[in-house]
Amino acid sequence: MGRKLWIGVLALALAAVSVQAAVIDFEEFEHGDFITASGDAMISGVNPQAAGNFAVAFDSSFTTPRLCAPETDRDLGTPNQQCVGGGPGNGTDPAVGPGGAFENCTAQNMVLIINERDVSDSCTNSDGLPGADGLVDFPNDIGYSNSIPEAVVTFTFPFDIVATSIDFIDIDGNGPNPRVELYDMDDTLLGTFPILNNDPGNGKHVVDLFDTPGVRRMEVWIQGSGAIDDVVYQRRGGSGCTPGFWKNHDGSKKQGNYWPVDELTSGMDTIWEEYFAVCEYTELDPKYLTDTIRLKGGGLNKIGRHGTAALLNALHPMVYYPYSVGEVINMVCSGRMGMLVMANELSDECPAKDGDPYTPPN
């Protein structure tokens, strides 16, 4: 079997098993943090009563010192006080206790809320020092009424995922029509899943998304108070190699050349415009890919650096990259580099290095 054919077969085998379970649980945040990204997703929270991102982390275990105000929002506490060992959750209905329809007996720790309009940052921080600390002083889920239309949290993914489930806490009396909507990369609605709206207070329930494939965006229309946790999904396309990897493995150093030279239109002599001429970045058009991968800084340099890495990832038979070459070109041309930057950093260890370094023909 020829080397190229062998690599192709191996790539197909890797693709067949490269489905990775993942969960966004918000545990990397502090109480009061603004949440703009977690796991593989970009995240935003809309409070229709004010402009900006209102997705904020809330410590449902109540172990974070509340230095600015007394402890509030016990309805978001986990576990519930009726559970074995007790907990901070203040619901008293049996339905939220052990064995109930809305059993809340698992510590969820950090959760996501849509914060009310007060996002001030002037309180003493957790080190006891005065002044702003980048955290919301009084994290509190929106609750100006029991019905906040257009209150929505959006999760945007850089590649197709299989949506599995989402946990909700204290969804009681929200409206109208709290729901999860799933969309593909063309903004086609794939499915709508209702969020139960008869929680008796401090309850928890899981919305089953039935392993919906091809999802790029989740819109969680929470429509009022409550919290989100444990967004469970599966990755399809879970590897990518950084610009730094490609820069250091182009054959100019002892690490060897791992570039997909058999797939490049003219091997190591490929210039930027052979793939990206349609983008009309005239400053980059004369450059070789071995030069654009070394560009530093933002603007066009970032486009050149990450665009080159994305192209090499998409071309390489051992990198199970979430985007095709055509999608990479379209994203580079439109300047949508945020998703490519995330995709280029999917792997802790670049899978291209699992193959043999390229040896030029004699």
Task: Tell me whether residue 338 is exposed, middle or buried, using C-beta atoms within 10 angstroms of its C-beta: 0 to 12, 13 to 18, 19 or more.
Answer: middle
96 pLDDT more than 80: yes
Compute the distance between CA of residue 188 and CA of residue 198 in angstroms, rounded to an integer: 29
177 pLDDT more than 80: yes
Average pLDDT of the residues of the chain: 87
Better-predicted residue by pLDDT, 298 or 239: 298
Q: Which amino acid is at 49?
A: Q
Predicted local distance difference test score (pLDDT) of residue 158? 77
16-49, pLDDT tens digit by residue? 334 568 899 999 999 999 999 998 899 999 998 8
Predicted local distance difference test score (pLDDT) of residue 4? 38
Report yes or no: 238 and 20 within 8 Å, Cβ to Cβ: yes
Residues of the chain with CATH 2.60.120: 19-236
Compute the distance between CA of residue 155 and CA of residue 12 in angstroms, rounded to an integer: 29
Compute the distance between CA of residue 339 and CA of residue 331 in angstroms, rounded to an integer: 9
- CATH number, domain 19-236, options 2.60.120, 1.10.3470, 2.40.50, 2.60.40: 2.60.120
Query: What angle, 0 to 180 degrees and rounded to 10, lies between the N-to-C axes of helices 325-333 and 300-315?
Result: 170
280-322, pLDDT tens digit by residue? 899 999 999 999 999 999 999 999 999 999 999 999 988 888 8
User: What letter would DSSP give residue 282?
Assistant: T
77 pLDDT more than 70: yes
Query: Stretch 208-235: mean pLDDT, rounded?
Result: 93
pLDDT band, residue 1 (cuts 50/70/90): very low
Token digits of residue 14: 């890797």
Radius of gyration of the CA atoms of the chain, in A:
24
Predicted local distance difference test score (pLDDT) of residue 236? 61
- Other CB atoms within 10 A of residue 251 CB: 17
Predicted local distance difference test score (pLDDT) of residue 336? 83
Query: Stretch 238-265: mean pLDDT, rounded?
Result: 91
Compute the distance between CA of residue 319 and CA of residue 324 in angstroms, rounded to an integer: 11
Q: Which residues contact 187 (CB under 8 A, 6 or more apart)?
A: 217
Half-sphere CA count of 308, side-chain side, radius 13 A: 29
Return the percentage of the chain with pLDDT > 70, whole number. Answer: 88
- Top mean-pLDDT range of 229-233, 323-327, 345-349: 229-233
Q: Which amino acid is at 146?
A: N
Query: Stretch 62-67: mean pLDDT, rounded?
Result: 76
* H or E element, residue 244: helix 243-248
